[in-house]
Structure 1
Amino acid sequence: MREVQTSSRSWSIYGRSEITQKYQILGRIGSGAYADVYRARRLSDDLVVALKEIHDYRSSFSEIEALQALRGAPNVVELLEYFWREDEDAVLVLEFLPTDLEAVISDAKRGGEIAVGEVKQWMQQILRGIEACHRSSIVHRDLKPSNLLISADGVLKLADFGQPSIPLEAFLEQSVSSREALLQLLTDSVGIGQVGVDEYMKELYGLKTRNMMYDSDKDMSLQDGDTSCLATCSTGDIDLDPFKSSYTNEVQEDLVDESGALTSCVGTRWFRAPELLYGSTSYGQEIDLWSLGCIFAELLRLDPLFPGTSDIDQLGRIISVLGNLTEETWPNCSNLPDYSKISFSKVEKPLGLEACLPKRSAAEIDIARRLLCYNPYNRATAAELLHHHYFIKEPLPVPISELRIPPSKGDQNESSPDTWTDYKNIDADSDPDEFGHMDVSTTEKGFSIKFS
């Protein structure tokens, strides 16, 4: 039996009177490197809620900002209120959802399969949630079955928004009234003009992003991060805590660098888009669409489609199915930061998605193919897929009331592990020897690794 180490800080929520005066804390249901989650009862009306205590400023800021922007959106977890003050961790009060899609898949493994009508209903709900995010210019960046929470009556909702990004253009659009007021003020006073205001707003946004950094990231212990990532030649893939529940944050690398730019090390590896694996820091909603394709395939297979043990292995598994990433499959892919640093021998006969999804319908293969393609700009959007003929053909999506819901996870016993640990090895780096022959050569820009 594994002993769970509990720091005094993780229990600080019990000493915060502003919370305990409104909520009765019933027990801890999840714990991770950056967050602890508790089931609680709201004293005013006995509503059961989840209290998510986040120990990381950046994750707190991102999640609160995203959930406020998505308030009332379909199939997105609801933020009821939050508590945050100087020198205290943020505590988010979220609607309580007792299970997740990972549990649905695990439960189905014992029964044989998930019925087509149920797959369609789950997919429609996921698509509505993603469409709401993308319509609000929010990229989730860590979609996977354990972040798709499910209520007791079968309503699925996207959760764990500790990594979303709101693109600069969206920020400027949302700030239009402030920009117009600022333009008038600066024009009247110093004649700065529209261009100057836009540059001012961009600088303001840059400062906002940079302020989300904090010094403790630079002092991350070996418990939080592993050594450098061979495949992308960027710093560490993070080992997952196998004892976390759906509500907890996974340790991830910095989401922004010191200049405010995005980083490629986001999302859990099995669901990470190829452009991220090749080091791209210029991406948008398309990375969520790739993750959705992996989730859809797992609903059909009941096993992960690309269960890589390292970034190199992840790329190798993708290439074995889709073939090599070339200029023909994605024009200008050679401009990806790490494209010249790593290459694979030519795959003469890639498996193809059909072989990975045997006995599935042409419509199912079509959806998978439209999501799991190299060129991000060719991936079907959530809005497009909601109108796919797959959802209007027999068998139709089952009513939500007819979905099979696995038992609630319940309170976490602190002296025993969570039993749902299918994803515990997602970010465990592999021994390079398992990839066979490896050629390393120097280049003008550094080095290149070729696997065969």
Structure 2
Amino acid sequence: MEKEKEGFPITSLREINTLLKGQHINIVTVREIVVGSNMDKIYIVMDYVEHDLKALMETMSKKKQSFSLGEVKTLMLQLLRAVAHLHDNWILHRDLKTSNLLLSHTGILKVGDFGLAREYGSPLKAYTPIVVTLWYRAPELLLGAKHYSTAIDVWSVGVIFGELLGMEPLFPGKSEIDELNRIFKELGTPSEAIWPGYNQLPVVKRTQFTEFPYNHLRERFKERLSDKGFLLMNKFLTYDPSKRVSCSEALHHDYFHSESPSPIPPAMFPTWPAKSENPNGISIVDEPNRPPKPPSGGKNFKDLGDDDHGVPGFFLGGGQQAGAGFQLKF
């Protein structure tokens, strides 16, 4: 806070606001907001959860372990319930990735890190396309679209689905163009015929992309993905955002409910030592497999281009006391 010249940062207000509005069993639980000895340090107090999925998958891969299909289905159902709940409450997460998904010792998945989340409305306003960590960023964002909605989170869910199955990132691009090329090479290059409005996107107007005519996703997951699973993944990774499946619809897909193996009960998940129990305090995530950093949500609010100066329903003072000298009311 000592670096802030204009009071409490709007991005932090937005993060707290969306976290509190989005409370759900599969979303990190906010207990309170507290301050340190004076007002220059403010903390969000949340429940402790033992693992983040990214670090856990790295540890499992080193031991040549992977999630069973029943475990993948359970994780996906919990993720879909969380994101569907956010979307039902008009919240976009805008940074879904495995390192922002936490897993407890009792097999409960929780979505965390709401630093880029924001409320949205209808009709849609123009927002910055520089959101979502690169490997999980939807093609419409990579191609410069400023009007977007819940479909950007759905794309991230599809990429996470592939990562849970393969135990490695699905599209680990080194730059935005490299990311697009990796997506096009795997799924085929889009066109105006399958994605109306594609030719009008800013990046498409000034870039010539290599033509990849075929979708190779089935070959990549042939040993791990049934026909129904492949259909679901293609619904997540549909180019045209208006045709992409919603999280609520995906929850009822046959892949989860009418084929073996069934999702396992969360309590049946195996347990692993928590990162905090690592006696040497050494990070167990390999640097080459770390996703790039997410776009900055708090550093330069004006650069984000989201012209929403008010946070509806959020103000300080007059509320129940949540910490020394700091009051909140919603």
Structure 1 residue runs without a partner (length 5+): 1-8, 13-33, 35-55, 172-259, 429-452
Amino acid at match of 2:221: L
Aligned to 1:50: none
Match of 2:266 among 370, 395, 400: 400
Alpha-carbon shift at residue 419 of structure 1 (Å): 2.6
Match of 1:370 among 226, 235, 257: 235
Summarize the Cα distance change of 1:330–1:261 in structure 2 as closer, same or farther, 3 Å threshold: closer
Match of 2:219 among 355, 359, 362: 355
1:103, 1:400 → 2: CA distance?
Answer: 19
1:74, 1:309 → 2: CA distance?
Answer: 35
Aligned to 1:90: 42
1:285, 1:421 → 2: CA distance?
Answer: 31
CA contact (8 A) 2:151 2:241 kept: yes
2:148, 2:112 → 1: CA distance?
Answer: 21
Match of 1:69 among 15, 21, 42: 21
CA offsets 1:312-368 (integer angstroms, 9 cap, x no match): 1100000101111210120011222222122212224x3421022122211111111
Asked whether 1:284 is paired with 2:145, we answer no
Asked whether 1:78 is paired with 2:29, we answer yes
1:337, 1:411 → 2: CA distance?
Answer: 48
2:123, 2:210 → 1: CA distance?
Answer: 41
Could you state the TM-score of these two structures normalised by the residue count of structure 2?
A: 0.79
RMSD value over aligned CA atoms? 2.8
Q: Which has the higher contact order (CA 8 A, sep 6+)?
A: 2
Alpha-carbon shift at residue 57 of structure 1 (Å): 2.2
SS of the residue aligned with 2:204?
A: coil
Aligned to 1:144: 97
CA offsets 1:87-126 (integer angstroms, 9 cap, x no match): 5243100111121221332233223421111111111111
1:116, 1:89 → 2: CA distance?
Answer: 44
Q: Larger deviation: 315-324 or 329-338?
A: 329-338
Q: How does 1:226-305 map to 2 (within 5 A)?
A: 261-305=126-170
CA offsets 1:47-82 (integer angstroms, 9 cap, x no match): xxxxxxxxx9244212101111113x2311111110
Aligned to 2:186: 321
- Number of residues paired by the alignment? 286
SS of the residue aligned with 2:119?
A: coil
Q: Larger deviation: 277-286 or 101-110?
A: 101-110
Could you state the TM-score of these two structures normalised by the residue count of structure 1?
A: 0.59
Alpha-carbon shift at residue 282 of structure 1 (Å): 0.9
2:35, 2:16 → 1: CA distance?
Answer: 10
SS of the residue aligned with 2:272?
A: coil
Asked whether 1:410 is paired with 2:265, we answer no
Amino acid at match of 1:167: Y
Structure 2 residue runs without a partner (length 5+): 295-330
1:112, 1:87 → 2: CA distance?
Answer: 46
CA contact (8 A) 2:58 2:286 kept: no
SS of the residue aligned with 2:149?
A: coil
1:372, 1:295 → 2: CA distance?
Answer: 11
| Structure label with greater radius of gyration | 1
SS of the residue aligned with 1:343?
A: coil
2:196, 2:35 → 1: CA distance?
Answer: 46
SS of the residue aligned with 1:316?
A: helix
Match of 1:424 among 256, 275, 290: 290
Aligned to 1:310: 175
Alpha-carbon shift at residue 288 of structure 1 (Å): 0.4
Summarize the Cα distance change of 1:391–1:268 in structure 2 as closer, same or farther, 3 Å threshold: same
CA offsets 1:254-277 (integer angstroms, 9 cap, x no match): xxxxxx942111111110000111
Asked whether 1:161 is paired with 2:128, we answer no
Summarize the Cα distance change of 1:115–1:91 in structure 2 as closer, same or farther, 3 Å threshold: same
SS of the residue aligned with 1:344?
A: coil
